[in-house]
Amino acid sequence: MTDVLNKIAVVIIGINSASYVKACIESVRATDYPQELLEIIYVDGGSRDASAKIARACAGVSVFELRDRHPTPGRGRNAGWRATDADFVQFLDADTLLDPLWFLTALGHFTDTVGAVCGRRRERFPDKNIFHKITDTEWRYEYGPCRYFGGDVLVRRKALTTTDGFDESLIAGEDPELSYRIRHAGWQILRIDAAMTLHDINMSSLRQYCRRAYRSGYAYAEIGLRLIGQPEKMWLRELVRICGRACLPPALLAVGLLAGQPAAGLLLATLVLLLPFARVKSFMTNFSLSLPEALAYAAHAALVVYPQFFGVLRYPAGIFLSRPLLNKGLAAA
Write out pLDDT tens, residues 77-112: 999 999 999 999 999 999 999 999 999 999 999 999
What's the confidence (pLDDT) of residue 2?
42
What's the confidence (pLDDT) of residue 195?
98
Look over the chain and give the mean of its residue pLDDT values, rounded to a whole number. Answer: 96
What's the confidence (pLDDT) of residue 330?
78
Number of domains in the chain: 2
Query: How distant is the alpha carbon of residue 80 from its chain centre?
Result: 18
| Containing structural domain, residue 194 | 8-204
Kindly state whether residue 3 falls inside one of the protein's structural domains: no
Write out pLDDT tens, residues 212-259: 999 999 999 999 999 999 999 999 999 999 999 999 999 999 999 999
102 and 246 assigned to the same domain: no
64 and 119 assigned to the same domain: yes
79/65 Cα distance (integer angstroms): 10
274 and 133 assigned to the same domain: no
32 and 153 assigned to the same domain: yes
What's the confidence (pLDDT) of residue 204?
97
Kindly state whether residue 15 falls inside one of the protein's structural domains: yes
Domain boundary among 140, 171, 204: 204
Domain boundary among 204, 235, 263: 204
Map residue 316 onto helix, strand or coil: helix
Map residue 208 onto helix, strand or coil: helix
Crossing angle of helices 305-321 and 206-226, in 10° steps, is 60
110 and 29 assigned to the same domain: yes
Query: How distant is the alpha carbon of residue 40 from its chain centre?
Result: 21
Kindly state whether residue 326 falls inside one of the protein's structural domains: no
Encode the chain (333 residues) as per-residue pLDDT tens digits.
446 799 999 999 999 999 999 999 999 999 999 999 999 999 999 999 999 999 999 999 999 999 988 999 999 999 999 999 999 999 999 999 999 999 999 999 999 999 999 999 999 999 999 999 999 999 999 999 999 999 999 999 999 999 999 999 999 999 999 999 999 999 999 999 999 999 999 999 999 999 999 999 999 999 999 999 999 999 999 999 999 999 999 999 999 999 999 999 999 999 999 999 999 999 999 999 999 999 999 999 999 999 999 999 999 999 999 999 999 887 544
**Strand partners of residue 190:** 117, 145
Kindly state whether residue 234 falls inside one of the protein's structural domains: yes
CATH number at residue 125: 3.90.550.10
251 and 308 assigned to the same domain: yes
For residue 260, what are the CA distances in angstroms to 249, 253, 263? 17, 11, 9
190 and 239 assigned to the same domain: no
149 and 271 assigned to the same domain: no
CA angle 77, 131, 223 (to 5 degrees): 40
134 and 270 assigned to the same domain: no
Global pTM?
Answer: 0.94
Kindly state whether residue 333 falls inside one of the protein's structural domains: no
Helix (H) or strand (E) holding 308: helix 305-321
Kindly state whether residue 2 falls inside one of the protein's structural domains: no
Backbone region of residue 189 per phi and psi (left: phi > 0; alpha: psi in -120 to 50; beta: other values): beta
Crossing angle of helices 305-321 and 236-258, in 10° steps, is 100
52 and 121 assigned to the same domain: yes
129 and 246 assigned to the same domain: no
Question: Torsions phi, psi of 193, nearest 5?
Answer: -85, 75
Kindly state whether residue 330 falls inside one of the protein's structural domains: no
Kindly state whether residue 219 falls inside one of the protein's structural domains: no
What's the confidence (pLDDT) of residue 3?
61
251 and 156 assigned to the same domain: no
CA angle 266, 272, 277 (to 5 degrees): 120
Crossing angle of helices 236-258 and 262-273, in 10° steps, is 160
